[in-house]
């Protein structure tokens, strides 16, 4: 089982500890097995594989896994990494108190990303100091009870970021955090006014631009805003590219969109669909 696999989805918020309380908590649970630290909350989230419920309310810089499997966060009001200053000094002191060598604690404190694992004897087993996934990953927000990331599919750079997401979500189940594991579905929002009325919109710089596609996998939803479709088509070409990227095909609608303008106009007038559900991948 990989380091990002979880036997069950744990969602309880992490404990926030500092000083003697952190040392006592870790020593009572077998010591430190793993340290994940970053100056970006997104890297702590996706690097650790923990459920967003556990840490996004904290904006933590350093989280620690004990040998028992319990996690806790070092108090983010005092401990930060990735720069000099009091936060880094506090990080060094806290990490050395937990048993890390001075040089390693200093390296973690001054790095923008660290993922360090220790073997049963307490010796360092591995140390990643380069974030292994795209930095464009956004921190999800809670919308209608689901953890949601809003993306745009306007430009080539946008489409590359979406490809990064697909690459991440296509990882083997053993390497994918439990909260983003499971079957993948898609909703294509073909009626822009309906999408806006139902809250599927993005903020400026494109006010009230409707979401075109929603991808669901596990507890994660990706809301993707594409350019508005031209000339009575269902989706902008970028929308079809997004669907291809995530393994979906809407060949029937692609054929309709390739038809003559008069036929597209009639089809839209007759079609009462507001949203198309694509529950399984192609």
Indicate the domain borders of the chain: 15-128, 141-278
Q: Which range among 28-32, 84-88, 91-95, 185-189 shows the weakest confidence by mean pLDDT?
A: 84-88
Side-chain half-sphere exposure of 215, counting CA atoms within 13 A: 26
Strand pairing partners for 124? 118
The pLDDT, as a whole number, for residue 207 is 59
pLDDT digit string, tens, across residues 182-210: 889 999 988 888 888 888 887 665 556 78
Which of 6-15, 140-149, 204-213 has the highest average model confidence (pLDDT)? Answer: 140-149
Using a pLDDT cut of 90, give the percent of the chain over it. Answer: 53
Is residue 122 predicted with pLDDT exceeding 80?
yes
| Residue 275 binned pLDDT confidence (cut-offs 50, 70, 90) | confident
CA separation for the pair 31, 113 (Å, rounded)? 22
Is residue 172 predicted with pLDDT exceeding 60?
yes
The pLDDT, as a whole number, for residue 6 is 41
| Residue 117 binned pLDDT confidence (cut-offs 50, 70, 90) | very high
Q: What is the enclosing helix (H) or strand (E) of 113?
A: strand 113-118
| Residue 243 binned pLDDT confidence (cut-offs 50, 70, 90) | very high
Q: Which range among 62-76, 84-98, 184-198, 268-282 shows the weakest confidence by mean pLDDT?
A: 268-282
The pLDDT, as a whole number, for residue 134 is 58
Q: What is the mean pLDDT of residues 70-78?
A: 96
Nearest to 63 by CA among 114, 128, 101: 114
Using a pLDDT cut of 70, give the percent of the chain over it. Answer: 92
Which of 89-103, 111-125, 227-241 has the highest average model confidence (pLDDT)? Answer: 89-103
3-class secondary-structure state, position 65: strand
Tokens at 97, concatenated? 């108190």
Is residue 282 predicted with pLDDT exceeding 70?
no
3-class secondary-structure state, position 275: strand
The pLDDT, as a whole number, for residue 259 is 83
Asked if 44 and 137 count as a contact pair (C-beta separation under 8 A), the reply is: no
The pLDDT, as a whole number, for residue 210 is 82
The pLDDT, as a whole number, for residue 255 is 83
Q: What is the mean pLDDT of residues 135-140?
A: 73
Question: Average pLDDT of the chain?
Answer: 87
Question: 53: Cβ–Cβ under 8 A, 6 or more apart, which residues?
Answer: 11, 12, 13
CA separation for the pair 107, 141 (Å, rounded)? 31
3-class secondary-structure state, position 147: strand
pTM of model > 0.75:
yes
The pLDDT, as a whole number, for residue 96 is 97
The pLDDT, as a whole number, for residue 92 is 95
User: Higher-confidence residue: 221 or 5?
Assistant: 221
Tokens at 48, concatenated? 């650790």
Is residue 272 predicted with pLDDT exceeding 80?
no
Q: Which alpha helices (H) appear in the chain, and where do they start and end?
A: 20-27, 41-48, 52-55, 86-97, 102-110, 156-169, 192-197, 237-245, 251-257, 261-270
């Amino acid at each position: 089982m990989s380091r990002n696999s979880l036997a069950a989805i744990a969602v309880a918020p992490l404990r926030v500890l500092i000083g003697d309380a952190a040392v006592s908590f870790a020593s009572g649970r077998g010591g430190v097995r793993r340290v994940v630290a970053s100056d970006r909350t997104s890297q702590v989230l996706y690097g650790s594989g923990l459920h967003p419920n556990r840490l996004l309310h904290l904006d933590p810089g350093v989280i620690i896994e004990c040998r028992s499997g319990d996690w806790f966060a070092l108090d983010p009001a005092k401990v930060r990494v990735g720069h000099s200053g009091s936060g880094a000094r506090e990080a060094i002191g806290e990490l050395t108190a937990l048993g890390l060598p001075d040089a390693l604690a200093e390296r973690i404190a001054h790095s923008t990303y660290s993922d360090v694992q220790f073997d049963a004897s307490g010796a360092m087993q591995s140390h990643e100091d380069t974030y292994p996934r795209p930095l464009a990953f956004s921190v999800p927000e809670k919308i209608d009870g689901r953890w949601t990331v809003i993306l745009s599919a306007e430009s080539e750079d946008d489409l590359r970021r979406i490809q990064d997401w697909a690459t991440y979500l296509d990882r083997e189940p053993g390497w994918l955090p439990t909260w983003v594991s499971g079957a993948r579905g898609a909703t294509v929002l073909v009626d822009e006014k309906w999408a806006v009325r139902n809250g599927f919109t993005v903020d400026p710089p494109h006010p009230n631009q409707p979401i075109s596609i929603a991808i669901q996998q596990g507890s994660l939803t990706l809301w993707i805003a594409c350019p508005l479709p031209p000339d009575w088509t269902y989706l902008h070409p970028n929308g079809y590219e997004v669907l291809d990227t995530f393994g979906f095909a809407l060949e029937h609608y692609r054929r309709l969109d390739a038809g003559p303008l008069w036929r597209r106009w009639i089809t839209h007038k007759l079609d009462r669909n507001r949203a198309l559900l694509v529950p399984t991948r192609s």
